[in-house]
Chain A
């Protein structure tokens, strides 16, 4: 066991720290959504120019070719410095790796560069109103017509759809085969009248997500990724990239938020209260377990190419911790907790989505029970 960084890894971290000190754009503007997005777009341009966008991508595609450890360092440093998210989060974390993994040479040539620069924003059209956890049951259909695909249906939880140029869309191209086999993965141009975007207001009051209404939207055949009928397999790659790409950032985020919680307890004069202290200690224990299990998972991936059983626990653990941590903030604020507060109100309301988005806790428990523990399936 050795948790120290190599000289190269330390150099990577120091280079990033120095760059962040010189280029940190400050806090994201609050209130106006358009203004905030423009701010994030500008930040991404800066990241790209500095060579800090797409760090995990291979160098030949304009990335930095960072190792898993360097990726972990990158996520941790971004959170530590409270750097804003880049505008094209989904393009960087999922779209790019999917095109690199499954796309043709022409597709790589066409799509990769503008993802990195933030010129073209990406969104993800997977979930539908009737297809949440049972994603493969999705009904949006694509029919071939004169060399194009014509798509009709509805998508939901589409982050940044209103800013996006491209949508990673999974649609049913063959209704006559078993549900996982009739799907195809497309890159759909959002700039057409047949695509209607309606913001979906969430419990925080913001509208991070959208509904997407597709009425005979057209997609040229050359925008199929990974071949017709292989949509499920390609979508799984996207989702795996989502989970591993976000894991280290999520881990660093709960550590930082726990530090904020400790400061909050001091501000409210309850840092000597034994009940509060027990609760903070419990959170520290869980945050540490998440951190160390992430290192164990990283070691397993480096050795075997596969995450060990503890890998599947991370997303579940993170959502539990973030909910419990933000609930603790309301306990600390006491009677003031319902009063809208810039630092904590959004966090504790937004945390309710953590156990739903990117795989519900119930689905994750099913996966663990069936694939890790070998328990029988109910279905």
Chain B
């Protein structure tokens, strides 16, 4: 029994943290967020590090690691609020890896693993996908509707840019009639996508909690740091509770994906429901600790807050995932009447 990362996993985490902190300094992040752009040079460096294909099998030119390693990267991406196509490409890759035929995997995974032919994933609602991250620059798009999914080439899809509150990620709406069906384990892919997003939400929450704590130590009112007042310090303690719980549930879902697949569906929805709420609540609570300055465009906090809100609604809201948690967890208790 051991619930901790291996030395290799720990080194992936520290490399990612250092790399992302050096590349996405506050000025850089703001510049990209205000322009609604990514930095191709940084994305190319990530590709060279092998991140794009971290979980993809070696036979399809990936690193052959697992969901745990993907989650480690995603948490750091959230912490850095990295504007990049990393998540979208990985999300589509997860679907093809778990639901694609051998032929489909051979066709698409190498381009996803290298990031040369980046992919994107979208959820169809009433016939088309209204909110697909990074569809605009993708070579291939995976679209799913409940537990069915298909792959369409970018050229065969109608893609239109969508403006969202989260300017650190690009979104588009997609509609496409044709495409090749993915006939394997769509749900297994989606559960891993939800787990990856939970990790990103955990990273965002961790960062906004740290911002609140740092500010509460510095900012003085009535001659004391505001963090000395229990109304503020207990708010920060609550943030830690939610961040550590989101992290625990996310790591467990990743562990289940790699080692206890029967637990994955319940664990993934548990993580995504919790992290969606925690991401929003912690970043909103951090804004409150910051007071007026936290409401200004000039402060970086709002970029995090908006990513948290957007992630919370992407690929299943907290409410939808709770519905699924209820269904799966209640089925385990006794026999339904």
Q: Interface on A for B, CB 8 Å cutoff?
A: 1-6, 9, 69, 259, 262-263, 266-267, 271, 274, 277-278, 280-282, 284-286, 288-289, 292-293, 295-296, 298-300, 302-303, 309-310, 313, 316-317, 362, 364-366, 368-370, 372-378
Whole-angstrom distance between the Cβ of A249 and the nearest chain B Cβ = 17
Q: Which residue of the partner chain B has the closest CB to A303?
A: B4
Q: Which residues of B lie under 8 Å from residue A266 when comparing CB positions?
A: 334, 336-337
How many chain B residues sit at the interface, stated as a range, is 35 or more
Q: Which residues in B have their C-beta under 8 angstroms from that of A281?
A: 273, 322-323, 325-326, 329
Given known A281-B322, A369-B236, A376-B227, contact A288–B249 (CB-CB < 8 A): yes
Option from A278, A316, A378 in Cβ contact (under 8 Å) with B319: A278
Number of A-B contacts (CB under 8 A): 161
Report B192-238 residues with CB < 8 Å from chain A CB: 213, 216-217, 224-225, 227-230, 233-234, 236-238
Q: A285 contacts which chain B residues (CB < 8 A)? A: 249, 270, 273-274, 322, 325
Query: Is the pair A289, B330 in contact by a Cβ cutoff of 8 Å?
Result: no
Which 3 A-B pairs rank lowest in CB-CB distance, beginning with the nearest? A289-B245, A369-B233, A277-B326
Q: Across the interface, which residues of B come within 8 angstroms of A289, CB to CB?
A: 244-246, 248-249, 274
- For A5, A300, A362, A375, the residue with the greatest tally of chain B CB atoms inside 10 Å of its CB is A375
Cβ of B304 within 8 Å of any chain A Cβ, yes or no, is no
Question: What residues of A have a CB within 8 angstroms of the CB of B252 in the complex?
Answer: 288, 292
26 A-B pairs with CB atoms under 8 Å apart are A1-B68, A1-B251, A3-B1, A259-B333, A262-B333, A266-B334, A277-B327, A281-B322, A284-B270, A284-B329, A285-B249, A285-B325, A289-B274, A292-B3, A293-B245, A298-B1, A302-B2, A310-B244, A310-B248, A313-B241, A317-B245, A365-B233, A368-B241, A369-B230, A378-B228, A378-B233
Rounded to whole angstroms, the CA-CA distance of A3 and B1 in the bound complex is 5
Q: Are B230 and A366 in contact (CB under 8 A)?
A: yes
B295, CB-defined interface residue at 8 Å: no
Known: A1-B5, A281-B329, A310-B244. 13 other contacts (CB 8 A): A2-B259, A3-B260, A263-B333, A278-B323, A285-B322, A292-B251, A293-B245, A313-B245, A365-B234, A368-B241, A369-B227, A376-B217, A378-B224
Closest to B212 in A: A373
Q: Which residues of A contact B42 (CB under 8 A)?
A: none
Contact status B213-A373, CB under 8 Å: yes
Whether the Cβ atoms of B330 and A280 lie closer than 8 Å is: yes
Are the C-beta atoms of A375 and B217 separated by less than 8 Å? yes
Residues in A whose Cβ lies below 8 Å from that of B246: 289
Among B216, B236, B322, B337, residue most surrounded by chain A Cβ atoms (within 10 Å): B322
Question: Is the beta-carbon distance between A377 and B228 smaller than 8 angstroms?
Answer: yes
Cα distance A52–B329 when bound, in Å?
Answer: 32
* CA–CA, A289 and B252, complex, Å: 9
User: B79 within 8 Å of A by Cβ?
Assistant: no
Q: What is the bound-complex CA distance between A281 and B240, given in angstroms?
A: 21
Q: Which of B216, B229, B252, B336 lies at the interface centre, i.e. has the most chain A CB atoms within 10 A of its CB? A: B252
